[in-house]
Structure formats: C-alpha cells, structure tokens
Chains A and B, each alone.
Chain A
Amino acid sequence: MNALPGAIPARLAEVDAAGWRATGAAVRARGGRLLSLWAADRRDLGEGHVAFAAFAGAEGLLLLRLPLANRDAPSAPDLSDLFLPAVRLQRACTDLSGVAFEVARDPRPWLRHGAWPAGVHPLRRDFVARQSFAPVPDDYPFVSVAGEGVHEIPVGPVHAGIIEPGHFRFSVLGERVLRLEERLGYKHKGIEKRFETLAAAEAHRLAGRVSGDSTVAVAWAYAMALEAAWGVQLPARALWLRALLLERERIANHLGDLGMLGNDAGLAFGLAQFGRLKECWLQDNARLWCHRYLMDAIVPGGVGVDLATEQHADLHEAVTELEAEVLELRAVYDEHAGLQDRFRGCGQLSPDLALRLGLTGIAARASGQARDLRVDFPVLPWDVLGVRACTQTGGDVAARVALRFDEIAESLRLLRAVLDDLPEGDCRVPLPAPRAGLGLGWVEGWRGEVLVALETGADCRVRRCHPHDPSWQNWPALEHAVIGNIVPDFPLINKSFNLSYAGVDL
C-alpha cells in the first residue's frame, strides 16, 4: 500500500480477487463507505482490464486496484452486498467496460438503453467512438409489486415541465407509494470516452460540463487530480479563489433550490424572491468571472480569472445584502403554516438508514450524518478558514430546507473570510511537462462529495478519467425516502434532494 501524491490523504493498494472483497468487508466494518467503482482497459499496454474501487474512511481515500486476468471476458467479485451504491455502479461498469461482477444481484443493464447492442462496450480501447448502431428494442424489466388494488404509475422520461429526463415507476395503493423504481441513463453522452481524446491540460473544460450546476466542484476535482498526478504546487491565492468560487456555486444552487421548494409546495412567492436573489448573484458571477455559472473559472494550475482588489468592496456589499434578505425569507418560510405542513415529516430518511445507504452531501447532513470534506479533511484553504459543519437531524424535507438555509449562512461567512484574508501573489502557475501518472481529486460540492480519478498517459492525453457525482449514492436513497408517502408529495421530496441526472448518466 503506497500513498498517492496530492493534498488529500489518499492511498493506493493493489489486491487480488480475494483481497478485493476482504478489503471491502474491512472498510465496511470500520464504518467506511464505497465512493465509486470503475474499470480501465489496459490491454494495449500488454496488461488486462483493471477494476478500481474508491473507499472513503476516517483516514482519507483508499483506492483499490484489481488487475483482471481474463482479457476478453473479465470479471470481478461483487461488492453490492457490502455497499448498496455498488449495485448501480457495477451495472454501469458492466455496460461500459464489459467487466462482469460475479454473483451480482441485479444483472440488468443500467446505462445501455438499446443504443448499442449487448456485448459491445464503449469504454474499451478498441471501441471506435464514431460508429453508430441500429437501435435495439429495450425491454427493461421493472420490479413489479403484486397485490389487490396495487397499480403502477409510469412517469417520464418526458415530463410535463422542462426538466432532466428520468423514468420513475411508482407502485401505489390509492395515493400511497409502496415502491419506487428509478431508471436513469437517458442522458448518456459518452463523456468518459470523450475524455480519452483530450489533452490532460485542457480536459478541465469537459469536466466542468459533466453537470452544469456543479461545474466548479467537478472542475476543481479534475484540476486537483491533475495537479496531484503531475506534482503541481498551487499558490495560496489560487486555492483561496477556488474556495470563493465553490462557495458562490453552493449559494447560487441553494438559493435556486429554496425557491423551487417553495414553488413546488404552491408558494410562488418563494420562487419569485429566491429567483431574484439567485439572478443577482449570477449576474455578479457573469460580471466578475465572465460566466453566470462560473464555467472554466477553474483551470489546472490555478484559476482563470484573478480578482482585483477594488472588487472586494462590491462583493462584501453583495454578501451583506444577501445575508439580510435570506434571514428575512427564512423567517417567512419558518412561519408559514401551510408551507411547514407540507415540509414536515415529508420524505423522511432516518439517520440509521442514511448511514446504511452511505449517503453523502446535503442529504446525509440533513439526516444527522456530520460528513463534510471541508471539515473532515481540512486541507488548504479550509483549515485556515475553519469551516463549521452544519447538520440537521430530522431527515425530512423540512430538515433539508433548514440545512440549506444554514449552509448559505455558513458559506456567506466563509466568503467574508476569504475576501478579508485573500493572500497576495499569483493566481496561476504554469503546468510542468506532461507525464504519465495517477491522481485523485475530492471536493465537497454543493450536492456532496465529487470524486475525479484521473490517469494521464505519457503522450499528454487523458488515458482514463472517471468523474463521480454524489448523486450515485443519493438516488437510491430517494427510492427509500418516498416509501409510505403520497404520490403528490414526490415532486417535493425529489426537489429537496435535487440530484443530478447528467452527472450520473455521463
């Protein structure tokens, strides 16, 4: 077991099939979680396929590397009985890389919707990305619920509103939800395959487009992975500015969510007010960083745009104004009986279940899991800024709303701290000559922890890049949160999680 470079504590261990499961069981026994799971094709280097699993524990990241012997039909041991998020991660890995998981409990495809035939695996090196296939019928067997009076409501992937595509299959008894089954993958765009054609020093632009609302988090994770792989030391100013951008993204998304949550409960006033605040915030982004959602603001080696000293006063003022307005709106939300009646007790996830499901991000913190990378692994700049962890214990929609209010207040405090103590110096350093390497990036985005695993080739290109969105962990939790609730409450529960479709469909 050897330590990986980079600020985040991370170790790499090469294991055999028995060690893969044994390590998984040991991690689980010590309260660790499975973060992500993927495979890489190394047959062109004279090796076989390699499966990777990233675990999070109290000591940091643990990356397991499992070389697979069979070059044509590789298979790895199943981890889904130890970690629930492994079910979908393994199904996606089977679809894309053709790695079978022995005794996997769910052999159905996940991302393959009939756009390419079974037996074809887009992430293998010998797959030509430009080819297309005749569509094949897609008979996806949903789990059915039997019983008198039970019927199914299929919803999506085309919805009545303009939202991302996802299919939800409800089994209901009257208005009560007995079971929900999600089906995602409608937005599969082949991002991981595309990464392999890009120069490593430029692929942060693609990383920033994995999930538009988390562009700062994913781009930072990508840059962090590349900087770790190439051994780049960042100036303090660059890190402080990245923290500023990340907190701005968190605030913008929380403002938008709070407005939408009010609107989904029928309170259009909330949408109008929070919509106004978010719009002003985004316009400030556009003015100072040339992009409303801060795309491409983070580049490997630092940040793309520096902040002039005369802009500090403007930003300070915006922070103070927003703080006052959010406080006022929080009082409105808290005291609105109709709204609280919709929020309280709706879509409850107990702390115990949240722990077993390995939840992450705001969904975990609203269910009493004090889990925040900025607090747990306070690398620069978080150690200096001193992030306070926000948690709520209710686990319902009301808790997720309250947590968003808490986090906005904390992020505004952090923004002030960054503006007050912004170190002088360069905001960007030149990158060294490209070399082959492996690096991990791990960032607490607004939705949860974003992981990027990057392997660069000797030829300046990305060899394999796996961006992991926290929604992988939290989508299955949504299926649990709606059980026993009534059908018309689902949109509200769904919005309170606000998970990414694009980020997991890749």
Chain B
Amino acid sequence: MARDASFLLRFAPYCVFGCMVLAASIVPMVATGLPFAPAADVIALVGLLATARVFMALAAMDAGTAFGSMGARREMLVAGLAEPALLMVFFMPSLIVGSTSLTTIVETLAYQPFALHPSLAFAAVAFVMVLLAENARIPVDNPATHLELTMIHEAMLLEYSGRYLALMEWAHALKLMVYAGIGIALFAPWGVSPAGRWDLVPAALAALAAKLFIGGLALAILETVSAKMRIFRAPEFLGMAFLLAVLGMLILLLQGPPR
C-alpha cells in the first residue's frame, strides 16, 4: 500500500464494500419483503452504486500514480454515460407498475396474469449493455487483462494489496451480483417467494440458481465472441443503451396509460 497516500485509500474499500452490501440487501432475488427494502427505491439504488464509484475513483487518484487517475478518469467517462441509461431502464417497469419500489415492481410483475410488455424487451437489452459497461466486462473493459494501459476498473486497484484488495474484489463481485439481481427482479421475477411465505423459499433459491446459471452462461458466451472496443466507442455503445431505453419508454407511452 502506498505510504504517502491519505486515509482515503484505506477507507475507500470499506465504503465501497458497505455500499455494495446494502445494495445487495435491497434487491429482491429470493423473496420480497426484505428488511432493508423500504430503505431505498430504485433511484436511491442508483445513488448507492454512484456513491461507491465516487469513493473508488477518489481513492484511485489519492495515490497519485498515473494509472490510478487514468483509470478513474475512464471510469467516470463510462459511468457518466451508463447512469442515465440505467435510470431510464428503471423508469419503464416503474411506469408499468406505478411505483419506484423494487418490492412493488417484483410483486406486481411476478404475480400478475401473463402480459407482454414490448417496452420491457427494449429495457432488457439496454440493461445488459449497461451491465457490461458498469461491471468492467468485455467489450467495454477487460477484467482479465494485464496490460495496464488499457485498464479501466483494474487500473484503479493497482495500488491495492492484501485485505484492501480482497475487499475491493469482493465488492466488485457483489456489484455483478447486484446487477444480476436487478436483471432478474425486473425481467424474470418468476419464482420469487412472496413476503412471509417461508415454505416457498427453497423453490425460490433453486429458481435463482437456475437463473444465475443461465445468466452466467450468456455472459461467458457474450464475452468470448466479442473483442474489446476502443475506449472512445464506449460513448456510442452506452448512447445506444440510452436510446433503446428511451424507445422502450416511447412505446410504453404510445400504448396508453397502464391498467
């Protein structure tokens, strides 16, 4: 660890990890009625992810190395474009359901009679693009690279070692889990156990495992067949995500007010 860095470098991993734990405890993956669920709706969730990112970028610049600030700068470029797209994705189910609370969204979408929502299909594609960008996956970033000049997320962690690095890596894994959870909650909420139904929890766990397996497989295939983009293609990529989300929203508005 850098000796001449401020307390921020050591403090940031706890902050980032705390944010991710809180985010993970809000997203209903297995059951609704989570104890922390009333604490934050989808907009606050986006804020929580942003808080973690701000601390991570500050810590990366704190050590004063060229790679840290380079990574922080690129992360902010990606994040600044991904966040509006993510908010637009969240607005669509919120408009369908009439609430920004994830619990309400999941309960309504999972237990309502079968209905096709074309706008959600647009939102799902946009969400996958945001997921790839936000979690430092190919084609936006390469989590497996050792080339320090091409890194985004990894460049911010170059000054970390030991338990701080472990905590950062853990927080990063949690972030991917949170995103997978959000994806499941918004676009495949079937099988989530309603509040108070403990008997349905084992089935919900099995459903979650199956969904994560399919999601993981899809991510692996996607990453294998694509190459990493040039960094200045990222704005086009995320602009496309935003555009898709807006198209979904327009379709929703054209369809008329939700029942």
Contacts and interface: CB of A to CB of B under 8 A. Distances in A.
Interface of A: 151-155, 159-162, 175, 262, 264-269, 336, 338-339, 341-342, 486-491
Contact of A265 (B151, B228, B231): B228
Contacts of B150: 264, 488, 491
Nearest to B155: A160
Interface string B126-148: 00000000000011001011111
Contacts of B230: 341-342, 486, 488-489
Nearest to B223: A268
B232 interface: yes
B149 interface: yes
Contacts of B226: 266-267, 338
Interface residues of B, number: 27
B224 A487 contact: no
B138 A155 contact: no
Interface string B227-247: 111111100000000000000
Contacts of A265: 227-228
15 contacts: A160-B148, A162-B146, A175-B232, A264-B147, A264-B150, A265-B228, A266-B142, A266-B227, A267-B226, A267-B228, A269-B225, A341-B229, A342-B228, A342-B229, A491-B147
Given A160-B147, A268-B224, A338 B70 contact: no
Contacts of B223: 268
B158 interface: yes
Main secondary structure of the interface of B (DSSP, over half): loop
Contacts of A153: 66-67, 70, 149
Given A161-B146, A338-B139, 18 more contacts: A151-B66, A153-B66, A155-B149, A161-B147, A175-B232, A264-B150, A265-B227, A266-B142, A266-B227, A267-B228, A268-B223, A269-B224, A336-B227, A338-B229, A342-B229, A486-B232, A487-B70, A488-B231
A38 to B, nearest CB: 34
Contacts of A161: 146-147
Interface in B125-184: 138-139, 142, 144-151, 154, 158
Contacts of B227: 262, 265-267, 336, 338-339, 341-342
Contacts of A489: 230
Interface of B: 66-67, 70, 138-139, 142, 144-151, 154, 158, 223-233
Contacts of B148: 155, 159-160
A336 B229 CA distance: 12
A162 B149 CA distance: 15
A319 B75 CA distance: 46
Contacts of B145: 266
A175 B77 CA distance: 12
B232 A160 contact: no
Contacts of A264: 147, 150
Contacts of A490: 149
B189 to A, nearest CB: 33
Contact of A266 (B66, B67, B154, B228): B228
A262 B230 CA distance: 14
A342 B225 CA distance: 15
A487 B150 CA distance: 7
Nearest to B226: A338
A384 B154 CA distance: 53
Contacts of A488: 149-150, 230-231
Given A153-B66, A491-B150, A268 B232 contact: no
Contacts of A339: 227
Max chain B Cβ within 10 angstroms of own Cβ: one of A152, A342, A488 = A488
Contacts of A269: 224-225
Nearest to B144: A268
Nearest to A265: B227
Max chain A Cβ within 10 angstroms of own Cβ: one of B144, B149, B223, B230 = B149
Nearest to B148: A160
A377 B154 CA distance: 49
Nearest to A262: B227
Given A175-B232, A338-B229, A487-B70, A160 B224 contact: no
Contacts of B228: 265-267, 338, 342
Contacts of B146: 159-162
A152 B231 CA distance: 19
B67 to A, nearest CB: 8
6 closest Cβ pairs, A-B complex = A266-B228, A161-B146, A338-B227, A491-B147, A488-B150, A153-B66
A414 to B, nearest CB: 32
Max chain B Cβ within 10 angstroms of own Cβ: one of A152, A175, A266, A268 = A266
A162 B147 CA distance: 10
A152 B233 CA distance: 24
Contacts of B67: 153
B227 to A, nearest CB: 4
A489 B225 CA distance: 20
Contacts of B158: 160
Contacts of B139: 266, 338
A342 B150 CA distance: 13
A159 B150 CA distance: 13
Nearest to A269: B224
Contacts of A160: 146-148, 151, 154, 158
Contacts of B225: 269
A264 B149 CA distance: 11
